[in-house]
């Protein structure tokens, strides 16, 4: 087979794989893994059942890859934001960095919001194997705790980790609750202005 034809087939195969992942992500975001069917995914992707078997092996494997892809995208975005914080960052700056990937997704809608809703569902009801990304979860948590500890020297680390997890849970809820869709109609600046003080308050706590 000529190299050009091989390249075209490879590109077509990659497009089919990407389309299957996109379709799976959208359905996972709407219903969770138990509500997704092979027929719906292939119809939405414009592919056939054989393509799922070829690229992923099974519906379960396709869903797992889609979930892992969504989690990695979210965690990588959050880690980039947290890594950019200065050593003397305030709680408000931490809250802004921590929430920005979610804010961007709410405003963008479409695939970006589908990714976040998948992340939120996984955060609420983790599937088997999600510990593969434990290192990235820990990296994001560690960066957040670093800033919290500098701002709240009287609070022990265990409680700081608890506050980070609570803030993450609140963002997960926002992605799947009706209020998240309402916020999607607002400009990013207004969403941040409304959300950042709430996340900062979760970090700050009360004594």
Query: What is the Cα–Cα distance from 172 to 137, expressed in whole angstroms?
Result: 14
- Span 155-165, pLDDT tens digits: 999 999 999 99
Alpha-carbon dihedral sign for residues 96, 100, 103, 108: positive
Query: What is the Cα–Cα distance from 9 to 20, expressed in whole angstroms?
Result: 16
Query: 42-51, 90-99, 157-166: lowest mean pLDDT where?
Result: 42-51
Collapsing DSSP to helix, strand or coil, 171 comes out as helix
Confidence of residue 82 (pLDDT cuts 50, 70, 90): very high
Contact 25, 66 (CB under 8 A): yes
Single out the residue of 116, 167, 120 nearest to residue 141, CA to CA: 167
Angle at the Cα of 114 from the Cα atoms of 174 and 124, rounded to 5 degrees: 50
Radius of gyration of the chain (CA): 19
Query: 6-15, 56-65, 132-141: lowest mean pLDDT where?
Result: 6-15
Query: What is the Cα–Cα distance from 66 to 68, expressed in whole angstroms?
Result: 6
Share of the chain above pLDDT 70, in %: 91
146, two tokens: 């670093």
Share of the chain above pLDDT 90, in %: 32
Query: What is the Cα–Cα distance from 177 to 8, expressed in whole angstroms?
Result: 42
């Amino acid at each position: 087979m000529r190299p050009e034809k091989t390249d075209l087939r490879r590109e077509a195969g990659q497009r089919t794989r990407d389309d299957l992942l996109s379709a799976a992500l959208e359905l996972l975001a709407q219903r969770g893994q138990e509500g997704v069917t092979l027929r719906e995914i292939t119809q939405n992707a414009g592919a056939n059942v054989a393509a799922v078997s070829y690229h992923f092996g099974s519906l379960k494997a396709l869903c797992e890859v889609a979930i892992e892809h969504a989690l990695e995208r979210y965690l990588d975005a959050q880690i980039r934001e947290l890594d950019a914080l200065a050593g003397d960052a305030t709680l408000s700056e931490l809250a802004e960095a921590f929430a920005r990937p979610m804010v961007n997704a709410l405003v963008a809608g479409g695939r970006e919001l589908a990714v976040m809703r998948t992340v939120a569902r996984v955060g609420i009801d983790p599937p088997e194997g999600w510990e593969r990304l434990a290192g990235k979860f820990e990296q994001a948590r560690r960066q957040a705790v670093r800033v919290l500890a500098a701002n709240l020297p009287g609070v022990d680390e265990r409680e700081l980790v608890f506050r980070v997890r609570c803030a993450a849970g609140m963002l997960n809820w926002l992605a799947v609750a009706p209020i998240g869709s309402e916020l999607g109609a607002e400009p990013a600046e207004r969403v941040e202005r409304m959300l950042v003080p709430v996340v900062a308050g979760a970090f700050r706590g009360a004594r």
